[in-house]
Amino acid sequence: MSAHGIEAGMALPPRVEEVSTGVFAYIQPDGSWWINNTGFVVGRDRVFGIDASSTERRTRGILDAIGTVTSAPVRTLLNTHHHGDHTHGNGYFTEATIIAHEAARELIIGQEPPPNGMVFEPVEWGALPPAPPFLTYSDGVDVWVDDRKVEVRYISTPAHTTNDSIAWLPEERVLYSGDLVFNGGTPFLLMGSVAGSLEALDRMRALDPAVIVPGHGPVCGPEIFDRTEGYLRFLQKTAADAHAAELSPLDAARQTDLGEYAEWLDAERIVGNLHRAYAELDGRERGATLDSFGILGEMVTFHGGPLRCYA
């Protein structure tokens, strides 16, 4: 890890935010590659957790933070989707029933961190004992924390991935969105769908949340839906114009003026997002498998070297 990365990580430590009584967000700045948010809901004798983290150190940090709020164990852990920044640390939730969408379990089994230095800057992953979800659902499940209901629901379409779930607290109007929402970071759709992401936004809007805990970035309100939709519409138009001009996604990305989105973290995701948008223009189904490794290589080329990673 570069000195710059260490300085950034030291300057902005993770923090716990109580977003409603007994309902918490665990925010990990700066929310770039492999630095995710998690959350937890506290009951009298049990905790419901939303997502693990990418490394041993970061996952132990989550558990330590929960311990500053309650001595109760995490009895249930939701994986909002299969990506390793949300699941690698599952094995440290030793007393929890780990739940996820059925497709997430399939993709988590056998998943390992990427080789250091090839796509991402080197990371100290630590020991990551495998622990795939062992209770799965197709549509959703209700989790009760004392008398508090948490509605876990599959978003019903490929969006960020093929297996995205949300956790919704209807009484408190708090939404844990997973990576269906990035606040201050570029959405990443390589393994999901642009059209599906737009539908997912509509489904989350319909809940009328007051507070959203995004998968990456600061806690926010429903205004994030409009900002995210703006990027997705921009992406679709950019892809349509470039596809018609027979530009490759990488060449299109190099020629694209990101405008208001240029300041968002991880701008190189435009390459992967254009690949996904091109696939949809070509009539491929949402979430169809693309050459992720090759496309990540193009993102490295666009970025000019391994992608920044402070995990």
pLDDT at 5 (0 to 100): 38
pTM of the complete model beyond 0.85: yes
Q: Measured between alpha carbons, how far is 239 from 280 in angstroms, rounded to an integer?
A: 10
Span 169-208, pLDDT tens digits: 999 999 999 999 999 999 999 999 999 999 999 999 999 9
pLDDT at 117 (0 to 100): 86
- Mean of pLDDT over the chain: 96
**9 pLDDT tier (thresholds 50, 70, 90):** very low
Residue 3 has pLDDT above 70, yes or no: no
Span 66-103, pLDDT tens digits: 999 999 999 999 999 999 999 999 999 999 999 999 99
Span 122-132, pLDDT tens digits: 999 999 999 99
Per the structure block, which two tokens stand in for 54? 């990418």
- φ, ψ for residue 108 (rounded to 5)? -75, -35
